[in-house]
Amino acid sequence: GSGEISWEKPDELKSKKELEEESGNWTWIPHPEKLWQPARIKEEKADGTLVVPEGSKKSILVPKGGDMCGPETKGRKQKVPLWPLSRSSLNTVEEDLVALDGVNEGMINHTLAKRYGQSELYTWVGASRSVLVSVNPYKWIPGLYDESQIELHNERPPNKPLPPHPFAIASDSYNDMLLEKTDQSVLISGESGAGKTEATKQVLKFLASVAGSESNVENKILMANPLLEAFGNAKTIRNNNSSRFGKWIEVYVDPTTSGICGAKILNYLLEKSRVVYQQKGERNYHIFYQMCQDSELSSSYELDDAKNFNFLNQSGVIKTSDVNDEGDMQEVRQAMQELDFTSDEKEWVFRTTAAVLHLGNVGFKDKKEKGSVKGSQIKDKKSVALAAEFLGVTQEKLEKVLCYRSISVRREVSTIPLDPTVARDGTGSLAKGLYGRLFDFLVRRVNQSLEGKEGRFMGILDIFGFEIFENNSFEQLCINFANEKLQQQFNRTTFKEEEQLYQREGIDFEHIEFIDNQVVLDLIEAKPVGILLMLDEECLVPEGSNPKFMNKIEAQNKRNDKFQTDKHRKLENSLAFEIEHYAGIVKYDSSQFMEKNKDTLFQDMYDLCASSKDDRTAALFPDLGKRQLKSLSYQFRGQLNALMERLYETDSRYIRCIKPNNKQRPDMYEAPLVVEQLRYSGVFEAVQIRKQGYPFRLTYKKFACRYQCINPTHRYKARDDEGICKELLKVAKQDFSGIQFGKTMLLYRADEHKKLKLLRNLALETIVPRCQRVIRGGIHREYMRRLAKATGQIQDALDVANDIEMLKEAINAVDDTIGPLAVLFKQKPTNLEKAKAHRDRLQLWVDLERIFERLTAEEDPDQSQLDELTESVARASELLDIPRTDKQIKLYDLARGQVIYMEINVNKKHLDDHGHKYESLAQYSGLKDPKEFAKKKLFGRAKLEETMHVWTKSGIPCGLNRFEDKKLDKLAKESFAAILAYSGLKKNPDPEMMGSKAIQLAIDNEGLRDEVYAQLIKQTTNCQDQESEERIWDITAACVGCFCPSKDFENFVFMHLRRAPANKDQYISTYHNTKYGEKPKSAPHNLGSIIKKFKNNKDRSRYSVMPNRA
């Protein structure tokens, strides 16, 4: 024989039927449904080419110019280049489009359709496995994403290529991140309904399963999906679970453990307009329907049938067959639980969502205002009352901001009424503003749960596809602008870098033209006259308007081929313009561009929400101060440019998602729709440049290493890698003339790749088993030696116990010590987990040490510093079992004292600034109402009511404080009687004993302590008996030395002590000693001597002095 090898079946081995079927020249011609079909060329004629479609006897003429439009094209205008076709190639279904014999729409569409029919959804574009085409099956395929597939792609067999799969993209990205130490990105794109969300889930699922984590963060990443989908996904005409926002997920990996150590999600451009309006056949966000289906939530927030809400009943669709709202709601609850949402947070999220729905049901009717001005009033107040309650604002104020608007002219504020239409629009703006801010909160809250240390990351981009609707507005321009940016990134990495490689290697290469969309990007964003920049400028102009904006961009771009307007636009009062995007021409209506770009609420609405008594609601509307609100396009451009910078710093892979039909039906492949998406996403160009270029390339070293084996009996004479490559190709005795020798690598096409692949497979069948036996033993022995070394280093650090740097060094050295062998063996040092746990615990003390060092030096603390130190001391008290350094032990003791010092000083400053709030007993909410207090007596109620808070000679009918325990009311009367006796207002043979009794009652009954202090304050307020007042201050001195009031009443006592006629500082010092020192268990027996000692003591409390750091 010739010695030539081939994957093709030789003619000598073909049957007669095969020879007949494949004879002649074949090409692709139009088909009314399949777009392209194979046909045999029958005859070349002067006016065109006569062809016979496969399976038919009827001839069709393809005109000379190739332009066809008729029954064969189903009325489409279709260019027919008559691409050559090898009939036998139709029998082979390649899993890499670059490996096809012909690169054209017909062959590529045929391959994808065949694979789709066999439930093979994924196809590679090039041997580099960086671009994957994914066709949505609209059905679940058993086993496609199960654990066995994850394991297969994670532990890829060395000599067996696996079929294309998103897990392969994820696996390559993960491994490159670890081995090449480069950040990675996976860009998932496609139209709505193409399967982007599912592809994102599967990439994350693979990463979570393979990498895992020490803190369950991988599960939290997966659980974030149902939560964000509930609030950010909706049914559209094209897709029952369409993401109405874009997201970029960065998953951080610890290089030491190869495990996930944290993650972060960024969200882009939530479609807020959907909250108030949906097209026919669509739905609002899933969460609204889920809450209406949930019996508990619907009862709590008065959410009856979803069809009763204006925000949900406009489109005619409440339920959809393949969406289980009730079941999905349970997933949302579970997700919140896994993401550590507190009960309060969950309640607030659902309550705020319900408020949005109720706002939609607020109706308005005409109301005549002064001067015949048309205003509005609320029709049915139930909805506005519920919305106000759920937002934590008063109904009256909410009604006012919905029906009126405040405007400021020359610093004068006036209120203008709104007619029902404007009021309704304003209510919609409030609903959109609330929902958008709530969604941003959810993303921030999810990130809080995913937070960990940042490092090498794998980013996954799931962003809205290109959109062309019947009516396209500002949102579509932003979305399509983002897709232009991403297409440019795809162009640069897929096309430009490809050609740059050939230039660097010195390879002759015919340039392939592809769609360069820089001119469109400049049209939209170039400074200073890009459309979005001119829109921002118009929003800042006092007299700016949409028509003026339209006139300006029309004048600026009248010579730009990518920008068009109708010449009769002004006569028809149209504000429409067209942009020729890479994916087609889109007509935009700019009539609401400025309003949508400003994305602002009436100031009255903003201020009302900011004043909510609910802290979380108020936090959604922060005080902006003098900061100018940034436009939506400004924010989006900033986010998008930051994302693009991030992407250009990564090694990118792509999943191009394709929807096979618009009806979301399984097993339906509409070729014209598929081909259109392939064209717009740049797949044809990607295949073409790889096919006509050299898609397979290896450095000389890698090529020699990979293919030396194809000549198993040959002894190579060359000593350098390039020489070995040339020698092995010559010895192989095959036609490798198409292989190009560059400066550092060999580059070749699919034909050469197929031959090399076949030769290598044949050789490895005999070589691999022998090599494996020898190598495996040696590798394992070396691994065990390195493992023992790493284990010893860790144990030395563990024995020291409290040297965190030594421990970190030992842990970090594991990777370097074991080296690349870690990829082959899963076993780690047996003490590694123990060391990590110990490191983390030591790190807690290191972190606390820094806090203690900083805050114990603070002489003039504020409340935030006090809170931080208090929390840190509390955390430290739970970590006393961890080995500490001498410095940490000393700092902990010092911090405990500093907390007291700070608390004293912060409270003093608070009273200096706000003491007027605590000056009178009448200001304390814990006391009874005077009428309630006086009711306890039949006669003299008016006098009792009048003197409840001031000095009196008479006893009291009950306690001043509100008591749930009636026994305390009785004891309060006893304590007051004892105080009266001690002060001399009530005769008693042993006043000192009565004073001690009052103190003992307070010591024994904690609930009585505020009462005793309140009685003492009462008896020194407007006191008419000087001697009695002096005695009251004496017993007050004894009280502050024995017990303290509650936290709620403490400031009232402090302000009272500040008014002491003498020894003010001594009262407060004594109080501090009692509060922070050891408290007596009984009242003093000799009250007089205690009081005398108090008056003679001039020492300052040690607690009010800053602790000594020496």
Query: Residue 323: which of 219, 201, 247, 233 has the closest Cα?
Result: 233
CA dihedral 342, 348, 349, 350 (to 10 degrees): 110
| Exposure class string for 294-323: b at 16+ Cβ within 10 A, else e | beebbeebebeebeebbbbbbbebbeeeeb
Annotated catalytic residue 59: no
Out of 197, 872, 905, 1051, the active site residue is 197
- The CA distances from residue 838 to 798, 883, 1001, in Å, are 8, 10, 50
Judged by DSSP in three states, 42 sits in strand
Classify the C-alpha dihedral 1019-1020-1026-1027 as positive or negative. Answer: positive
Annotated catalytic residue 650: no
Q: Which residues pair with 263 in a beta bridge?
A: 251
Annotated catalytic residue 193: yes
State the Cα–Cα distance between residues 266 and 962, nearest whole angstrom.
51
Burial of 4 (0-12, 13-18, 19+ CB in 10 A): exposed
Judged by DSSP in three states, 394 sits in coil
Phi, psi of 30 (to 5 degrees): -65, 155
- Is residue 359 within 8 Å of residue 431, measured between CB atoms? yes
Out of 193, 426, 459, 897, the active site residue is 193
Out of 243, 376, 480, 872, the active site residue is 243
What is the DSSP secondary structure assignment for residue 906, as one 8-state letter? Answer: H
Neighbours of 150 (CB within 10 A): 21
Neighbours of 385 (CB within 10 A): 17
Establish how many alpha carbons lie within 13 A of residue 537's alpha carbon, considering only the half-sphere containing its beta carbon: 14
Annotated catalytic residue 192: yes
State the Cα–Cα distance between residues 813 and 793, nearest whole angstrom.
9
Out of 262, 465, 682, 995, the active site residue is 465
Give the full edge-to-edge strand order of the sheet including 563-564. Answer: 563-564, 576-581, 584-589
Q: Cβ contacts of residue 1044 below 8 Å, gap of 6+?
A: 1009, 1050, 1071, 1074, 1075, 1079
Annotated catalytic residue 1104: no
Out of 239, 240, 650, 1051, the active site residue is 239
Q: Cβ contacts of residue 357 below 8 Å, gap of 6+?
A: 288, 291, 303, 309, 311, 312
State the Cα–Cα distance between residues 976 and 803, nearest whole angstrom.
61
Beta strands at 184-189 and 456-462: parallel, antiparallel or unpaired: parallel
Neighbours of 561 (CB within 10 A): 9
Query: Residue 960: which of 902, 1087, 852, 1045 has the closest Cα?
Result: 1045
Q: Cβ contacts of residue 578 below 8 Å, gap of 6+?
A: 563, 564, 565, 585, 586, 587, 588
Query: Residue 233: which of 283, 189, 199 has the closest Cα?
Result: 283
What is the DSSP secondary structure assignment for residue 33, as one 8-state letter? Answer: T
Annotated catalytic residue 239: yes
Query: Residue 855: which of 1069, 1106, 670 has the closest Cα?
Result: 1106
State the Cα–Cα distance between residues 332 and 187, nearest whole angstrom.
26
Out of 192, 213, 267, 517, the active site residue is 192
Out of 136, 213, 242, 383, the active site residue is 242
Phi, psi of 564 (to 5 degrees): -140, 150
Query: Residue 584: which of 467, 472, 465, 463 has the closest Cα?
Result: 467
- The CA distances from residue 1038 to 992, 1010, 1016, 1061, 1064, in Å, are 11, 15, 12, 16, 14
Annotated catalytic residue 467: yes
Q: Of all helices (H) and strands (E), which one includes residue 170?
A: helix 166-179
Locate the DSSP E strands across 704-766. Answer: 740-741, 745-748
Q: How far is CA 801 from the centre of its chain?
A: 39
User: What amino acid positions are annotated as catalytic residues?
Assistant: 192-193, 197, 239, 242-243, 465, 467
